[in-house]
């Protein structure tokens, strides 16, 4: 008996020491972004509902020197979409709509081109409807209020990008249309529906639909980072993103949401299963379900003027990681897999800890070419002197630095590119995911 007790005590001490070490490394990882001036915001990590880390960094308002806290409210951007998807599923459970119905069942004035578009297609970004944020005059449109009906009118006559269900293309327009359906079917505004059915019942008292005019206590200001330092983000009228991205919340409220959603308190198991089952490109209904280092992760991120967010749930270990930032940039998407990795016993290597080696230009030149990552996305590898550069479709070229003869890393983002020795393919490692690409030329 004494031997068993001693073993138990040793295990507890070891687990405690490991937890302390993980927390210390988490803090080190977060601080690497804070010290670089690329992150201000709040971070929460939890397992089985117990908060492991709940901490804030930087300022909610730089001008007034108000610090961020765990109860600071941040705009969520597209994390809003999972609330919209849950609202649609809830209405289906109530017998008020069917996801497989045509959109015109609920919006009979929709154009003829939308006849074959189902509610399902809106949820999964497979409708082919033009993304309104890509309109040429979007930067002017976003400055003034508009209803979902006005937003739909602006894109209703656009030619569909593809036939419904034939392809995937992320479309904020689809979720604006879903917002209009929610309002039509429920007889409530989108704002009131999510408040009455989600926020109030779950005690999410620090969550809501954002406003440009209301005084909202503990709301963060949004910033962009420039070579000259932080600047106030541009204006967007919060009627514009609507059901595609208009909500605000806190990390603590979002933990309540994750616990309720995946704990069966929001939807039936059948509805939740449908919501989290990917259709195309790992996308389900308002959520992405994928593998990250062999672990299933259900997640979504968001971006809106001055704010970026990322939230992930790991069902096998019931781990939640939430990062909300009030400065635009990719840090939330980087931090979530880093912190989740530490929670699962992985080793996390920061970009500053990677060591560049000398590699002859002749060795590097065999990797020059174009690699197909996705149907509409390629990575072009070029060489400038003795330095390789990588350029994704629609983005600028960035230098990559050799760690070995086949493994290179970027410094502008936390990503690595691993080439096949013969240059026939590559693997992009980013955000805990591996994206394989074959050389096409």
**pLDDT value of residue 429:** 85
Phi and psi at residue 398, to the nearest 5°: -130, 140
Question: What's the pLDDT score for residue 12?
Answer: 33
pLDDT per residue over 187-245, tens digit each?
999 999 999 999 999 999 999 999 999 999 999 999 999 999 999 999 999 999 999 99
Distance from C-alpha of 373 to C-alpha of 381, rounded to nearest angstrom = 13
Element (H, E) at 7: helix 2-35
> Is the Cβ–Cβ distance between 194 and 247 less than 8 Å?
yes
Q: Are 246 and 209 in contact (CB under 8 A)?
A: yes
Provide long-range contacts, Cβ within 8 A and 24+ apart, for 196-199.
Answer: 197/87, 197/90, 198/83, 198/86, 198/87, 198/257, 198/266, 199/253
Q: How does DSSP classify residue 367?
A: G
Spell out the residues 6+ positions from residue 172 whose beta carbon is closer than 8 angstroms to its own: 78, 131, 132, 133, 241, 244, 245
pLDDT for the residue numbered 138 = 95
Measure the CA–CA gap between 112 and 116, rounded to whole angstroms: 9
The whole-angstrom separation of Cα 300 and Cα 258 is 12
Counting as low any pLDDT under 70, the low residues of the chain are 1-21
Strand-pair category, 407-409 with 425-430? unpaired
Tell me the C-alpha distance between 254 and 295, whole Å.
Answer: 22
Sign of CA dihedral 390, 395, 397, 403: negative
- For residue 199, what are the contacts with CB-CB under 8 A and spacing of at least 6? 205, 207, 208, 253
Strand 208-209 with 50-57, pairing: unpaired
* Residue 220 DSSP one-character state: P
Residue count of the chain = 441
Sketch out the chain's domains with CATH numbers: 74-343 (3.40.710.10), 354-439 (2.40.128.50)
Q: How far apart are CA 124 and CA 155, in angstroms?
A: 18
Q: Where are the beta strands (DSSP E) in 293-359?
A: 295-304, 307-314, 319-325
3-state secondary structure of 107: coil
DSSP state at residue 283: B
């Amino acid at each position: 008996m004494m031997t068993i007790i001693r073993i138990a005590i040793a295990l507890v001490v070891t687990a405690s020491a490991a937890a302390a070490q993980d927390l210390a490394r988490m803090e080190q990882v977060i601080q690497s972004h804070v010290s670089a001036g690329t992150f201000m915001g709040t971070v929460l990590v939890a397992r089985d509902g117990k908060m492991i880390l709940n901490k804030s960094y930087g300022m909610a308002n730089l001008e007034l020197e108000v610090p961020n806290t765990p109860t600071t409210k941040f705009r969520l951007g597209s994390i809003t979409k999972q609330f919209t998807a849950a609202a649609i599923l809830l209405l289906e459970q109530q017998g008020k709509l069917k996801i497989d119905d045509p959109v015109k069942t609920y919006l009979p004035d929709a154009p003829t081109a939308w006849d074959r578009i189902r509610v399902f297609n809106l949820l999964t970004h497979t409708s082919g409807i033009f993304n309104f944020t890509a309109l040429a005059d979007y930067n002017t449109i976003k400055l003034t209020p508009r209803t979902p009906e006005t937003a739909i009118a602006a894109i209703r006559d656009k030619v569909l990008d593809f036939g419904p269900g034939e392809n995937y293309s992320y479309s904020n327009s689809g979720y604006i249309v879903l917002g209009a359906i929610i309002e039509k079917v429920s007889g409530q505004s989108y704002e009131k529906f999510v408040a009455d059915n989600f926020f109030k019942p779950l005690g999410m008292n620090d969550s809501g639909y954002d406003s440009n005019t209301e005084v909202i206590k503990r709301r963060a200001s949004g910033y962009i980072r420039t070579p000259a330092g932080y600047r106030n983000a541009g204006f967007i009228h919060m009627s514009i993103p609507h059901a595609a991205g208009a909500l605000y919340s806190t990390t603590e409220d979002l933990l309540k949401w994750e616990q309720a959603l995946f704990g069966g308190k929001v939807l039936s198991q059948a509805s939740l299963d449908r919501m989290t089952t990917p259709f195309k490109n790992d996308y389900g209904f308002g959520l992405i379900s994928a593998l990250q280092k062999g672990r299933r992760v259900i997640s979504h991120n968001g971006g809106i003027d001055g704010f970026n967010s990322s939230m992930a749930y790991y069902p096998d270990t019931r781990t939640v990681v939430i990062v909300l930032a009030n400065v635009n940039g990719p840090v939330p998407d980087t931090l979530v897999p880093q912190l989740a990795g530490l929670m699962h016993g992985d080793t996390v290597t920061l970009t500053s800890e990677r060591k560049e080696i000398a590699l002859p230009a002749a060795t590097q030149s065999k990797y020059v070419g174009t690699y197909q990552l996705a149907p509409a996305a390629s990575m072009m590898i070029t060489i400038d002197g003795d330095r390789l550069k990588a350029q994704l479709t629609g983005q600028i070229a960035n230098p990559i630095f050799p760690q070995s003869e086949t493994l290179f890393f970027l410094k502008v983002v936390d990503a690595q590119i691993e080439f096949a020795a013969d240059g026939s393919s590559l693997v992009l490692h980013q955000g805990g995911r591996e994206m394989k690409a074959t050389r096409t030329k």
